[in-house]
């Protein structure tokens, strides 16, 4: 038996009783203070795991803290991740900032794609890192592959097997960190750095496809759990308002950047401008995921399908992959992206405007 939680609105979730089976949760803040006997899948703004998980951990969201033991694999797509415990098998992490404290022990391999990476713990298996600012100040027992704009090797770093790396400034000094092994600079690895760009992501590397699918699924899970009513309501009457939706969406895509610039030019408007910038960037990065959910809800509404929460979530993932493949086509992809995002945000905007008018009338 699997434990599901379909959160209708934003809220805090506390797991303080032992879960005997696989557990799924989505919410604004999720805190795990009890043992999970099976796998745990969580998605939300702030995620805190304080107790043991006897299966896999899969997580997506804004911020994640792992303070409890995880017996099997960990797969993460999170803005900021802090790991302060033992991982029984492999760790796959994709995000903005990743920190492994000195208490972190990864018994399998560590594969990490992120902006800022700080590794202070122990990796029993292989290490593969691609990022911008990379600090290695821990122990790696097997081979290492490190690609970064700026790589720093700390005083406590220990490499027990061969290291291959690429650094934007060329070769670096590994000092006394190499234990009866060697480090080799590979110029060709610089080409792999481009795999993390928005334009090539998902086309050049199978491993990046895996991360993309995982992160997309978990982000769709978050968006669906928190805003399912908004998607359901937005598709009503959309077939008669395609052009209107496109127009409102285009105003959003072109108008918001102008408003942000104006806000940043005024001192009192700087905080609002910065906040609007974050929201706007988020809407661009995850626009195709939001569009995928809207498409699935439209089909459900149009065809009168009796799809439940998880059916819609998985169908939206398939739709998101298709949209992603379409939007990476040169030139045509840019046009499709503008059209898709415009209709998506236009439809949502029109629904908000309609709802406000209804409130005024009442």
Q: What is the pLDDT of residue 344?
A: 85
What's the DSSP call for residue 209? H
Residue 82 pLDDT class (50, 70, 90 cuts): very high
Residue ranges of domains in the chain = 12-196, 206-361
C-alpha span between 52 and 40 (Å, rounded) = 10
What pLDDT digit, counting tens, does each position of 164-206 carry? 999 988 899 998 999 999 999 988 887 655 544 433 443 345 4
What pLDDT digit, counting tens, does each position of 283-312 carry? 777 788 888 998 898 888 888 888 888 788
- Tell me the whole-structure pTM to 2 decimals: 0.61
Using an 8 Å Cβ cutoff, are 111 and 92 in contact? yes
Place of tokens 């290291």: 163
What pLDDT digit, counting tens, does each position of 134-152 carry? 999 999 999 999 998 899 9
Q: What is the pLDDT of residue 10?
A: 41
Residue 268 has pLDDT above 90, yes or no: no
Residue with more model confidence, 111 or 7: 111
What sign results for the dihedral spanned by CA atoms 237, 240, 246, 252? Answer: negative
Residue 28 has pLDDT above 60, yes or no: yes
Q: What is the pLDDT of residue 4?
A: 42
Q: What is the pLDDT of residue 44?
A: 73
Residue with more model confidence, 229 or 119: 119
Q: What is the pLDDT of residue 359?
A: 62
What pLDDT digit, counting tens, does each position of 8-21 carry? 334 588 999 999 98
Q: How far is CA 170 from CA 158, 173, 184, 187, 189, in A?
A: 21, 10, 11, 8, 11
What's the DSSP call for residue 240? G
Mean pLDDT score, 35-49: 88
Q: What is the pLDDT of residue 358?
A: 63
Mean pLDDT score, 229-245: 78
Using an 8 Å Cβ cutoff, are 79 and 61 in contact? yes
C-alpha span between 302 and 281 (Å, rounded) = 31
Q: What is the C-alpha R_g of the chain?
A: 22
Residue 92's DSSP bridge partners are 75, 111
- Token readout for 50 is 């304080």
């Amino acid at each position: 038996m699997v434990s599901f939680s379909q959160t209708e609105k934003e809220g805090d979730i506390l797991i303080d009783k032992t879960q005997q089976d696989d557990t799924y949760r989505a919410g604004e803040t999720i805190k795990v203070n009890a043992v999970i006997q099976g796998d745990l899948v969580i998605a939300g703004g702030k995620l805190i795991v304080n107790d043991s998980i006897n299966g896999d951990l899969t997580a997506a969201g804004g911020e994640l803290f792992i303070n409890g033991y995880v017996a099997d694999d960990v797969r993460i797509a999170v803005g900021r991740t802090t790991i302060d415990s033992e991982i029984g098998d492999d760790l796959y992490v994709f995000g903005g900032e990743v920190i492994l404290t000195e208490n972190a022990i990864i018994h399998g391999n560590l594969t990490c794609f992120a902006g800022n990476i700080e590794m202070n713990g122990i990796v029993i298996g292989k290490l593969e890192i691609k990022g911008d600012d990379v600090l290695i100040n821990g122990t790696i027992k097997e081979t290492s592959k490190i690609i970064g704009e700026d790589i720093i090797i700390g005083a406590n770093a220990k490499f027990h097997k061969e290291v291959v790396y690429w650094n934007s400034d060329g070769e670096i000094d590994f000092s006394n960190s190499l234990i009866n092994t060697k480090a080799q600079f590979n110029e060709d690895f610089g080409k792999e750095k481009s795999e993390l760009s928005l334009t090539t992501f998902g086309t050049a590397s199978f491993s990046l496809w895996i991360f993309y699918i995982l992160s997309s699924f978990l982000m769709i899970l978050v968006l669906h759990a928190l805003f399912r009513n908004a998607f359901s309501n937005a598709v009503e009457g959309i077939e008669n308002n395609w052009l209107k939706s496109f127009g409102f969406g285009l105003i959003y895509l072109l108008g918001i950047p102008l408003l942000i610039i104006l806000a940043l030019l005024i001192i009192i408007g700087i905080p609002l401008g910065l906040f609007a910038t974050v929201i706007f960037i988020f809407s661009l990065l995850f626009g195709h995921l939001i569009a995928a959910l809207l498409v699935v809800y439209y089909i459900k509404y149009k065809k009168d399908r009796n799809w439940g929460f998880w059916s819609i979530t998985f169908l939206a993932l398939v739709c998101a992959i298709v949209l992603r493949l379409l939007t990476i086509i040169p030139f045509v992809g840019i046009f499709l992206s503008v059209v898709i995002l415009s209709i998506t945000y236009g439809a949502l905007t029109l629904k908000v405007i309609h709802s406000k008018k209804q409130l005024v009338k009442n």
